[in-house]
Amino acid sequence: MLVHNSIESFSAWRKASGVASGFVLTIGNFDGCHLGHQALIKAARGLAGDVEGGDAEVCVLTFNPRPAVYFRKLNGLPSDEHAPASESLFDPRQKVEAMVELDVNHLILQVFDADFSRVTAPDFFQAISRDGCVGIVVGDDFRFGSRRLGDAAFLAKACETAEIAFRRVDPVSVHGVRASSSTIRREILNSGNVDLASALLGREYALDGEVERGRQNGRRIGIHTANLKALDQIIPKNGVYAGYFALLGSEVDTTTRPPLLSRRESAMPCVINIGHRPTVDSSAMPRLTVEAHVIDFDFGEDALYGKRARIYFSARLRDEMKFSSMEELKAQIHRDIETTRQITK
């Protein structure tokens, strides 16, 4: 898969490479790449097989930051500690990995800024429909262009005029709930409902970060934890979760199609704690922490520091609690470990 940093750079690459085949484009935020997004990419791949003798490539156009986040910042709305600046389910690496996993040929990461926000719907269509575009696929609620004046009906008519194939994809629902990034973000933030989030994503929700040195509280009670920092994703509601832990390589492989975001076979069961650790931290403004205790595995005291890791969320176990002693805390953690063993076995 090739990654391009703008619509213009993608067009320039096509001209410079002299590629003969056309491409089918699907457009959206693709935050989390949930089942609805996967349906879009599947439809784009199907359309690519129907046009130009089946030689067309699949191209995904997405935006950084998401338009909603751009306008929130423009209006000065503050971010929450559980929702960092990106306010996203994905960090940039995960978005690339998801597209590799879904066999996308090209990913365009278009910067959404003041200039791009003023592009009109007709001008946007002109930009995306040139240089070999043979098909466009969008969701039923897709809107684009300045003041969001463009929609699927506009695209359908424009594509008909330009003799470009067009498909509008219906939404995907699970247990009566529509798969949408906003729903998943809300469920994770408000209730820690990782079960529903995972059902809508089609895989477990996962956080990526670098393992940092903590205050060694876990080590003092014989329960080592890996603390994750530099999280640029939506962090689930404070509480204790059952999940899995895996170490990551330093680079994303965009040339092969391994199971990247889907849980890796090497992932190990773990208990995840998110919160302010009220039993051990009595400071006035405690820092939000995300830490994982890997069950039945000892990495060694300093083996993980500075390494990239991913934690997968399987189930929410309980709320964060303040205990009257470290012994009570330790006993509860051991109960959490046993519950996690049952969930992850």
Is-above-0.75 flag for pTM?
A: yes
Phi (first) and psi of residue 156, to 5 degrees? -60, -45
- Under 8 Å between Cβ of 22 and 130: no
Residue 6 neighbours by CB distance under 10 Å: 15
Give the separation between CA 301 and CA 289, rounded to whole angstroms. Answer: 19
pLDDT string in tens for the chain (345-residue length): 999 999 999 999 999 998 889 999 999 999 999 999 999 999 999 999 998 778 899 999 999 999 989 998 888 777 788 988 889 999 888 999 999 999 999 999 999 999 999 999 999 999 999 989 999 999 999 999 998 999 999 999 999 999 999 999 999 999 999 999 999 999 999 999 999 999 999 999 999 999 987 665 656 667 888 999 878 899 999 999 999 999 987 666 666 555 556 787 789 999 999 998 888 777 767 889 999 999 988 776 677 888 899 999 999 999 999 888 888 999 999 999 999 999 998
How high is the pLDDT of residue 254? 63
**Comparing C-alpha atoms, which of 24, 55, 67 is closest to residue 159?**
24
Q: Which residues of 320-338 are buried (b: 16+ CB within 10 A; e: fewer)?
A: eeeeeeeeebbeebeebbe
CATH architecture of 204-344: Beta Barrel (2.40)
**Comparing C-alpha atoms, which of 297, 299, 309 is closest to residue 344?**
297
For residue 166, the Cα-to-chain-centroid distance in whole angstroms is 27
Give the separation between CA 209 and CA 306, rounded to whole angstroms. Answer: 10
**Comparing C-alpha atoms, which of 113, 125, 132, 236 is closest to residue 184?**
236
- Under 8 Å between Cβ of 124 and 144: yes
- Under 8 Å between Cβ of 319 and 236: no
Phi (first) and psi of residue 319, to 5 degrees? -75, 160
**Superfamily covering domain 2-174:** HUPs (3.40.50.620)
Domain ranges for the chain? 2-174, 204-344
Give the separation between CA 233 and CA 231, rounded to whole angstroms. Answer: 6
Name residue, tokens 């194939």. Answer: 165
Give the separation between CA 41 and CA 26, rounded to whole angstroms. Answer: 7
Tell me the two tokens of residue 249: 């390589």
